Every structure is written in C-alpha cells, then in structure tokens.
Amino acid sequence: MNYTVDITIDRPRSEVIELFDNPDNMSKWQPELVSFEPLSGVPGQPGAKSKLHYKMDKRDVEMIETITKNNLPDELAATYETKGVYNVISNRFEVLNENQTKWVSENEFQFTGFMKVMGIFMKGAFPKQTLKFMNQFKAFAEAEKS
C-alpha cells in the first residue's frame, strides 16, 4: 500500500527542520510516544537504528527505525519495522515562501501474516494516522517561539 500526504506549516523551512530533526522534540508532537532509544550508528544519519515505543489506545507498539537517507533540509527517509509491518517513509520539506514550508510524506507499507488482512480492512486508517502526526507537528511547530 502506497500513499502520499502533505501539509503546509506556517514557519520558515530552516525552523521546521530544526524542530523536526531534534529527537528531544518528538514527545512534544507525538504524545503517544513513550520512549525513543538510539540503538546504533550516529543518530539521524543513514544506517542509524533506534527503538520507538508507542502507547496507542490500549496497545503497546515497539518499532525499529532505520534512517536510510538524510539530506536535510530537503529530505529525510527511514524505515520502520514492527511485527507484521514494514513501513518506508520519505519526508520532503519544500519552501513555499519565506514563512511557509510544505511537508510531503510518501509512505509505503508492506504487511506479512495477520497484518496482511488488517492492512486490507484498515487501508484508510494509515493515511489518517500519518496526517494526524503531521498535524500534531504543525501545531507544535507553529506554537514554538523562534
């Protein structure tokens, strides 16, 4: 399953990137995030692995993030792996004008086992969840003082 979502953030791209690329900010816009633990490599650089633990409703979800590309301020790409789900994400940040940034998130999901069935029935939930996280980041970024 592939999809692309985008939003406009009312902040200059340099400020958006500064906020987005700081792991200390993750819990400020991802309230579901319980912990972020670097495992190997240089954080934020290609090959770096981290463990993310989320509490989503009553479910505990742990996933392994692997950075695959970092050529910020233009793009940051990573994979996310959890039981039955492999997700490839490319985040691009485009300058719209001096005070606005367009964030484009391209997503590819691959499912195995029982999650193949869930992927079929919950197809619409995945883009909604991505957009929810993006809007949470937008609200955080626009509220932060420069």
User: Domain boundaries in the chain?
Assistant: 2-143
Q: Is residue 103 a contact partner of residue 91, using CB atoms and an 8 Å limit? A: yes
CA–CA separation, 10 and 118 (whole Å): 35
Class of domain 2-143: alpha beta
pLDDT at 6 over 70: yes
Q: What confidence tens digit (pLDDT) does each residue in 104-135 have?
A: 999 998 877 766 656 565 777 788 989 999 99
Q: What confidence tens digit (pLDDT) does each residue in 7-63 have?
A: 999 999 999 999 999 989 999 999 999 999 999 999 899 999 999 999 988 889 999
